[in-house]
Amino acid sequence: MLSYLVNKRALILMINFFTSPDQYKHWQINISGNVATLLLNVDENENPTLGYTLKLNSYDLGVDIELNDAVQRLRFEHPEVGAVIITSAKDRVFSAGANIQMLGQLSHVEKVNFCKYTNETRISIEDASLNSGQTYLCAINGPASGGGYELALATEHIILVDDGATAIALPEVPSLAVLPGTGGLTRVIDKRHVRRDRADFFCTTSEGVRGRRALDWNLVDELATRSNLVSQTHSRAKSFAQKNNRRISANGIKLEPINRKIEKNLISYDLIEILINRDLRTATFKIKGPDKTSNLSIKYIYSIGCKFWPLAFARELDDAILHLRFNEPEIGTWVLTSEGNHDAMEAIDKIMLKNYKNWFIHEIILNLKRTFKRLDISSRSLIALIEPNSCFTGTLAELALAADTSYMLDKAIEENTEKKTTFCLTGINFGYLSMSNGLSRISSRFLGNKGHIEKIKLIGGKQLEAKEAEELGLVTFAPDDIDWDDEIRIALEARASFSPDALSAMEANLRFGGPETIESKIFSRLSAWQNWLFQRPNANTSLESYGTGKQPTFDRNRV
Amino acid sequence: MNINYNETIPNNVNLSDDRRLLRALEQWQPAYINWWKELGPDQTQNFEVYLRTAISVDAKGWAHFGHVRMPEYRWGIFLSPAEKDRRIGFGHHKGESTWTEVPGEYRTELRRLIVTQGDTEPASVEQQRHLSKTCPSLYDLRNLFQVNVEEGRHLWAMVYLLQAYFGRDGREEADEMLSRHAGDPNKPRILEAFNEQTDDWLSFFMFTYFQDRDGKFQLAALSESAFEPLSRTCRFMLTEEAHHMFVGETGIMRIIQRTCELMREYDTDKISLMGGIDLNIIQKWINFHYSICLDLFGSERSTNAANYYSMGLKGRYQENKINDDHLLTDSYVSLPKIEEDEIRNEETPALTAINMKLREDYAKDSQRGLDRFNKIIESYCIDTKLTLPHPAFNRNIGVFKDVKASPSGKIIDATTWNKQRDQWLPSSADYELVKSLMVQVIEPGKMAGWIAPPKRGIHGLPIDYEYVLFH
Ligand SMILES: [Fe+2]
Ligand SMILES: [Fe+2]
Q: Output the DSSP codes for A23-89.
A: G-SSEEEEEETTEEEEEE---TTS-GGGS---GGG-B-HHHHHHHHHHHHHHHHH-TT--EEEEEES
Q: Ligand nearest B218 Cα, by number?
A: 1
Q: Ligand nearest B243 Cα, by number?
A: 2
Could you give the percent of chain B with pLDDT greater than 90? 79
Pairwise CA distance, residues B447 & B454, whole Å: 9
Instruction: Kindly report, residue by residue over B346-392, the tens digit of the pLDDT.
Output: 999 999 999 999 999 999 999 999 999 999 999 999 999 999 999 99
Angle between the B303-311 and B354-379 helix axes, to the nearest 10 degrees? Answer: 100
Pairwise CA distance, residues A316 & B428, whole Å: 59
d(CA B241, ligand 1 centre) in Å? 6
B93, closest residue in chain A (CA to CA)? A551
pLDDT of residue A434: 96
pLDDT of residue A47: 74
B187 neighbourhood in chain A, CB within 8 Å: 163-165, 225-226
Q: Are residues B111 and A207, on separate chains, in Cβ contact within 8 Å?
A: yes
pLDDT of residue A418: 64
Q: Are residues B329 and A550, on separate chains, in Cβ contact within 8 Å?
A: yes
Distance of CA A531 to the CA centre of its chain: 18
Looking at the complex, report in whole angstroms how far the Cα of residue A385 sits from the nearest Cα belonging to chain B: 53
CATH of domain B85-137+155-326+356-469: 1.10.620.20
Q: Are residues A548 and B352, on separate chains, in Cβ contact within 8 Å?
A: yes
C-alpha closest to that of A352 among A334, A338, A367: A367
Q: Are residues A163 and B186, on separate chains, in Cβ contact within 8 Å?
A: yes
Pairwise CA distance, residues B120 & B155, whole Å: 8
How, if at all, do strands B332-339 and B342-349 pair? Answer: antiparallel
Which residue from A227, A548, A550 is facing B185, i.e. has the nearest CB? A227
Count of CB atoms within 10 A of residue A232's CB?
17
Looking at the complex, report in whole angstroms how far the Cα of residue A159 sits from the nearest Cα belonging to chain B: 15
Which residue from B108, B329, B354 is facing A207, i.e. has the nearest CB? B108
pLDDT of residue A413: 56
pLDDT of residue B104: 85
pLDDT of residue A11: 40
B329, closest residue in chain A (CA to CA)? A550
d(CA A552, ligand 2 centre) in Å? 37
C-alpha closest to that of A58 among A91, A93, A96: A96
C-alpha closest to that of A530 among A289, A172, A61, A253: A172
**B207, containing H or E segment:** helix B201-222
Confidence of residue B223 (pLDDT cuts 50, 70, 90): very high
Pairwise CA distance, residues B233 & A472, whole Å: 80
Instruction: Kindly report, residue by residue over B235-259, the tens digit of the pLDDT.
Output: 999 999 999 999 999 999 999 999 9
DSSP string, B326-343: S--SS-EEEEEEEETTEE
A209, closest residue in chain B (CA to CA)? B169
pLDDT of residue A8: 34
pLDDT of residue A76: 96
Rg (CA), chain B: 23
In contact, B123 and B141? CB cutoff 8 Å = no
DSSP string, B133-178: GG-S-HHHHHHHHHHHHHHHHHHHHHHHHHHHHSHHHHHHHHHHHH
pLDDT of residue B312 exceeding 80, the answer is: yes
| DSSP single-letter state for residue A382 | E
pLDDT of residue B4: 60
Q: What is the mean pLDDT of residues B286-313?
A: 95
Q: Ligand nearest B204 Cα, by number?
A: 2
B351 neighbourhood in chain A, CB within 8 Å: 548-550
Looking at the complex, report in whole angstroms how far the Cα of residue A195 sits from the nearest Cα belonging to chain B: 19
Q: Are residues A549 and B187, on separate chains, in Cβ contact within 8 Å?
A: no
A165, closest residue in chain B (CA to CA)? B190
Q: Ligand nearest B157 Cα, by number?
A: 1
Class of domain A261-511: alpha beta
The overall average pLDDT reported for chain B is 93
C-alpha closest to that of B124 among B104, B103, B106, B146: B146
Q: Are residues A548 and B328, on separate chains, in Cβ contact within 8 Å?
A: no
In contact, A220 and A140? CB cutoff 8 Å = yes
C-alpha closest to that of A309 among A339, A344, A342: A344
Q: Are residues B179 and A226, on separate chains, in Cβ contact within 8 Å?
A: no
Which residue from A163, A205, A549 is facing B188, i.e. has the nearest CB? A163
B176 neighbourhood in chain A, CB within 8 Å: 164
pLDDT of residue A112: 93
Burial of B108 (0-12, 13-18, 19+ CB in 10 A): buried
A211 neighbourhood in chain B, CB within 8 Å: none
Count of CB atoms within 10 A of residue A155's CB?
22
Burial of A71 (0-12, 13-18, 19+ CB in 10 A): buried
**Dihedral angle at the C-alpha atoms of B333, B339, B342, B346, nearest 10 degrees?**
-10
In contact, B319 and B222? CB cutoff 8 Å = no
In Å, what is the CA distance from A11 to each residue of A17, A65, A518? Answer: 18, 20, 36
Higher per-residue confidence, A67 vs B71: A67
Burial of A556 (0-12, 13-18, 19+ CB in 10 A): exposed
pTM greater than 0.90: no
A99 neighbourhood in chain B, CB within 8 Å: none
In Å, what is the CA distance from A115 to each residue of A99, A199, A326, A330, A488? Answer: 12, 22, 12, 19, 33
Q: Are residues B306 and A205, on separate chains, in Cβ contact within 8 Å?
A: no
**A511, containing H or E segment:** helix A500-511
C-alpha closest to that of B345 among B387, B302, B305, B301: B301
Number of helices and strands (H, E) in chain A? 21, 18
Pairwise CA distance, residues B40 & B36, whole Å: 4
In the predicted model, residues of chain A with pLDDT beneath 50 are 1-12
d(CA B204, ligand 2 centre) in Å? 11
Q: Is the dihedral of CA B8, B13, B14, B18 positive or negative?
A: negative
Give this complex's ipTM.
0.75
Q: Ligand nearest B156 Cα, by number?
A: 1
C-alpha closest to that of A174 among A208, A143, A205: A205
Which residue from B112, B303, B329 is facing A547, i.e. has the nearest CB? B303
C-alpha closest to that of A516 among A409, A415, A421, A444: A444
Best residue of A175, A202, A207, A229 to probe chain B, by most B CBs closer than 10 Å: A207
Spans of all domains in chain B: 85-137+155-326+356-469
B186 neighbourhood in chain A, CB within 8 Å: 163, 225-227
Task: Find all residues with CB under 8 Å of A94, minimum gap 6, and list them.
Answer: A40, A57, A87, A88, A140, A141, A142, A143, A144, A148, A152, A166
| DSSP single-letter state for residue A272 | E
Task: Find all residues with CB under 8 Å of A133, minimum gap 6, and list them.
Answer: A82, A244, A245, A246, A359
B354, closest residue in chain A (CA to CA)? A549
Pairwise CA distance, residues B126 & A85, whole Å: 36
CA angle B347, B348, B350 (to 5 degrees): 125
C-alpha closest to that of A152 among A200, A115, A99, A191: A191
Distance of CA B195 to the CA centre of its chain: 13
Instruction: Kindly report, residue by residue over B102-121, the tens digit of the pLDDT.
Output: 998 899 899 999 999 999 99
| DSSP single-letter state for residue A551 | P
In contact, A92 and A76? CB cutoff 8 Å = no
Per-residue buried b or exposed e for B226-252, using 16+ beta carbons within 10 Å of the residue's own CB = bbbbbbbbbbbbbebbebbbebbbbbb
B329 neighbourhood in chain A, CB within 8 Å: 550
A207 neighbourhood in chain B, CB within 8 Å: 108, 111-112
A163 neighbourhood in chain B, CB within 8 Å: 180, 186-188
Could you give the percent of chain B with pLDDT greater than 70? 99
For chain B, the residues whose C-beta falls within 8 A of a C-beta of chain A are 92, 108, 111-112, 176, 179-180, 185-188, 190, 303, 305-307, 309-311, 328-329, 349, 351-352, 354
pLDDT of residue B5: 61
Best residue of B112, B178, B187 to probe chain A, by most A CBs closer than 10 Å: B187
Say which CATH superfamily domain A7-243 falls into: 2-enoyl-CoA Hydratase; Chain A, domain 1 (3.90.226.10)
Count of CB atoms within 10 A of residue B17's CB?
9
Pairwise CA distance, residues A219 & A130, whole Å: 20
Spans of all domains in chain A: 7-243, 261-511
In contact, B55 and B76? CB cutoff 8 Å = yes
Which residue from B111, B179, B351 is facing A548, i.e. has the nearest CB? B351
B354 neighbourhood in chain A, CB within 8 Å: 549
Number of helices and strands (H, E) in chain B? 12, 7
Q: Are residues B186 and A227, on separate chains, in Cβ contact within 8 Å?
A: yes
